């Protein structure tokens, strides 16, 4: 059975996140390790780390995921922005390693007018640069499939494959599959035939062994819209069937599946229960 959970707040400190997740019924959870809308991040103290790790142990979480800041663009053509992004990403790897987090999910980046291939090359170089700055880390870096909004790359499986191919450290890289993003990018996983075809393509192009985390989100925008707007499960253009299919898909039985749907914390508890009840 997959590990079902959601994104939880670190308000008051990261050490409060595990209990928050447990209270919502999570088997796995995702956090930001710092304010995702600010460049400046304070380091995590040893006290926070100690409490965080003991709480993880207490609630027996096997899977903790961090999501990188939305400001980071590892594909930026602007040297100053690129340097800031790489620096922030290095700090993210350091914080996540310190907290013994298994996976960092990040949006690959955007080309800002330079074209997809420019960004794919820059992202691969950025990843190598950052990985080399934090040599002792077991945290894997997961490229998230994107909706392809604006000049974002990562909306095709081929993009993710190219980045992995161009990196010197492919063993440190994996993929996060966001259902809303894939649907908005044009992968019709809602229909059964499209679902089967999409994961066949994923396996052929990237390899299902690279798929480490799912983000389960319905979409406020239709198939192929290239717009990233999450919705609560069953409320958007995707409906509930695709999520029932995912939680019962044998191939994904041991993967964390994380909700990032809009709304208050109560709706997360409700959606987690819906998904748990749907597991056969
Ligand atoms: Zn996501
Ligand atoms: Zn999104």
For the chain, what are the domain ranges?
3-260
What does pLDDT average to over the chain? 97
Ligand nearest to the CA of 183: 2
CA of 274 to the centre of ligand 1 (A): 20
Looking at residue 101, what is its pLDDT?
A: 98
CA of 64 to the centre of ligand 1 (A): 15
Q: Distance from the CA of 150 to the center of ligand 2, in angstroms? A: 13
Distance 147 CA to ligand 1 centre (A): 10
- CA 86–ligand 2 middle distance (angstroms): 21
- Token reading at 51: 């409490």
Cα(120) to centroid of ligand 1, in Å? 19
Q: CB under 8 Å to 41, separation ≥6 — which residues?
A: 33, 34, 35, 69, 88, 91, 95
Q: For residue 90, report the distance from its CA to the centre of ligand 2, in Å.
A: 22
For ligand 2, the distance from its centroid to the CA atom of residue 25, given in whole angstroms, is 22
The rounded distance, in Å, linking the Cα atoms of 39 and 12 is 19
User: Cα(147)–Cα(95) distance, rounded to whole angstroms?
Assistant: 27
**Per-residue model confidence as pLDDT tens digits over 141-151:** 999 999 999 99
What pLDDT does 26 receive? 98
pLDDT digits (tens, 9 = 90+) for 215-227: 999 999 999 999 9
- For residue 106, the ligand closest to its alpha carbon is 1
Instruction: Check residue 37 and give its pLDDT.
Output: 86
Ligand nearest to the CA of 30: 1
Distance (Å) from CA 58 to ligand 2 centroid:
31
Distance from C-alpha of 274 to C-alpha of 259, rounded to nearest angstrom: 12
C-alpha pair distances (Å), 130 with each of 76, 83, 92: 15, 11, 10
Ligand 1: centre distance to CA 255 (Å): 15
Query: Please, which pLDDT band fits residue 43 given cuts at 50, 70 and 90?
Result: confident
Is the pLDDT confidence value at 280 over 90? no
Determine the distance separating the centroid of ligand 1 and the alpha carbon of 260, expressed in angstroms.
7
**CB within 8 A of 189, min separation 6: which ones?**
179, 182, 183, 195, 198, 238, 242
Q: Which fold has domain 3-260?
A: TIM Barrel (3.20.20)
- Starting from the CA of residue 175, give the closest ligand: 1
What spacing in Å lies between the alpha carbon of 16 and ligand 1's midpoint? Answer: 22
| 18 band by pLDDT with thresholds 50, 70 and 90 | very high
Tell me the CA–centroid distance for residue 107 and ligand 2, in Å: 9
Cβ < 5 A residues, ion ligand 2: 228
Q: What is the dihedral of CA 111, 113, 115, 117, to 10 degrees?
A: -30
Q: What is the pTM of this model?
A: 0.97
Ligand nearest to the CA of 149: 2
């Amino acid at each position: 059975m997959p590990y079902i959970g959601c994104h939880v707040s670190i308000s008051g400190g990261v050490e409060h996140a595990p209990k928050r997740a447990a209270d919502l019924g999570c088997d796995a959870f995702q956090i930001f390790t710092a304010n995702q809308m600010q460049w400046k991040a304070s380091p995590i103290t040893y006290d926070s780390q100690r409490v965080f790790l003991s709480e993880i142990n207490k609630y027996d979480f096997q899977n903790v995921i961090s999501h990188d800041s939305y400001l980071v663009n590892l594909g930026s053509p602007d040297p100053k922005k690129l340097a800031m992004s790489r620096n922030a990403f290095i700090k993210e790897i350091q914080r996540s390693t310190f907290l013994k987090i298994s996976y960092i999910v990040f949006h690959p980046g955007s080309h800002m007018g330079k074209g997809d291939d420019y960004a794919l090359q820059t992202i691969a170089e950025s990843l190598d640069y950052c990985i080399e700055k934090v040599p002792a880390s077991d945290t894997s870096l997961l490229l998230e499939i994107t909706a392809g909004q604006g000049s974002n790359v990562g909306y095709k499986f081929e993009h993710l494959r190219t980045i992995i191919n161009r990196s010197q450290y492919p063993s440190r890289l994996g993929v996060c599959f966001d259902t809303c993003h894939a649907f908005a990018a044009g992968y019709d996983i809602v229909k059964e035939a499209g679902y089967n075809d999409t994961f066949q393509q994923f396996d052929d192009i990237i390899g299902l062994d690279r798929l480490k985390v799912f983000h389960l989100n319905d979409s406020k925008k239709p198939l192929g819209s290239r717009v990233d707007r999450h919705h609560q499960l069953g409320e958007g253009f995707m409906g509930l069937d695709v999520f029932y299919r995912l939680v019962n898909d044998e191939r994904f039985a041991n993967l964390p599946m994380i909700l990032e749907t809009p709304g208050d914390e109560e709706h997360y508890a409700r959606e987690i229960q819906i998904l748990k009840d749907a597991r056969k």
